[in-house]
Amino acid sequence: MEYAQFSNGIKVSRIGLGTWAIGGWLWGGTNEQDAIAAVQKALDMGISLIDLAAVYGYGLSEEIIAKALDTRERRDKAILATKAGVVWNSGGQVWRDASAKSIRREIDDSLKRLKTDYVDIYQLHWPDPKVPIQEPAETFAALLKEGKIRAIGVSNFNVEQMKEWMHYAPLHSVQPPYNLFERESEEEVLPFAEKHNISVLAYGSLCRGLLTGKFNEKSEFPEGDIRQSMDPKFHKQNLKNYLAAVGQLKAMAEEKGRSVSQLAVRWVLDQPGVTTALWGARRPDQLLEAAGVSGWKLNRKDMERIERIIDGNIPSPLGTSFMAPPSEVPAG
């Protein structure tokens, strides 16, 4: 496993475990015992960074992680990076709330669910247009001083929002969506982060499984799965184009003795400024290929070939706006 220094000195694995699917929300449910085994498998492999959010499974993801970190040794191995700023009600509706009151409540709830007295990296999940950035930034800064968190991060922020945040609080990390198919952050976010020594935790490295090579045009997803209901890449002609690209990427990976998943995540890690790529898994077997990402790099010709594959198959790349939660409490 490869490791890197986080911007405040914390040592983190360059592959992190993404736990959105572990919570089951928007992923058609989950199996708790499989999820616990996946977390423990990740730690055994040397994956130390575990990325969570309070809203994943409406708290379930954090509860599962706590069960998986059932010994002091396992907790000491783990770098827990959870998030605040997206809340929910009893009906399962979610919305953004970055107010100081909400963040204070959320950090205490997360600490209870995680059964720990501190979070290694605390992140604001989404910017909240209703709340001036100064309010959550100053709240996070206070939590840092109080010792409830060790580092401050933001997720889904643009450069202007990060600049404003930095007027009021330290900023140790940013978490943008980033993979071979979703590359908006290349334009401004990644260069800004590299320039200002802000660690980058890239989420969606496998594009919700699309870059595993396991799907075809007839693949079906359970009701409530984000790929069935929301992600336009998995719909009709769009899917055909993306699968064509995956097929060519898979052939390239096989020439190197790698899987397409390994190729895709290695590509993310080889981009300037990227600290860690998140690998989502909810069963231990879904992590086996992660071991083959470390210890090699893509060269210039590889990068150019990948660009030709993407450009030749995907004339109009689709972004990630569909993932943004509403800023207001949903009606009804």
Residue 168 falls in the annotated catalytic set: no
Our measurement of the distance from residue 18's CA atom to the centroid of its chain's CA atoms, rounded to an integer in Å, reads 6
CB 215 within 8 A of CB 208: no
- Residue-level pLDDT at 235: 83
DSSP 8-state symbol, 326? P
Q: Which SS3 state, helix, strand or coil, does residue 12 take?
A: strand
The answer for residues whose C-beta is within 8 angstroms of residue 11's C-beta and 6 or more apart is: 3, 4, 5, 48, 79
Q: Counting every residue, how long is the chain?
A: 332
Please state, in angstroms and rounded to a whole number, the distance separating the CA atoms of residues 49 and 153: 14
pLDDT tens for each residue of 170-198: 999 999 999 999 999 999 999 999 999 99
Instruction: Evaluate if residue 156 carries a pLDDT over 80.
Output: yes
- How would you classify residue 21: left for phi > 0, otherwise alpha for psi between -120 and 50, otherwise beta? alpha
Pick the closest to residue 18 from 80, 93, 87 (CA basis): 80
Which domains, ranges and CATH numbers included, belong to the chain? 3-209+266-296 (3.20.20.100)
Q: Quote the tokens at residue 226.
A: 């984000």
Write down the pLDDT at residue 214.
Answer: 86
Categorize the per-residue pLDDT at 32 as very low, low, confident or very high, splitting at 50, 70 and 90.
confident
pTM for this prediction: 0.91
Catalytic residue among 56, 122, 203, 242: 56
What is the pLDDT at residue 331? 66
Looking at 88-92, 93-97, 137-141, 164-168, which range is the least confident one?
88-92
Local confidence band at 47 (pLDDT 50, 70, 90 cut-offs): very high
The span from the CA of 211 to the CA of 193, in Å, is 25
pLDDT, tens only, 202-226: 999 998 889 998 887 777 777 777 7
SS3 content of the chain, % helix, strand, coil (to 5): 45, 15, 40
> What secondary structure letter does DSSP report for 126?
S
Least confident stretch, 27-36, 42-51, 155-164: 27-36
**CA–CA dist 50, 252 (Å, integer):** 30
* DSSP class per residue in 251-271: HHHHHTT--HHHHHHHHHHTS
Q: Which helix (H) or strand (E) holds 278?
A: strand 274-280
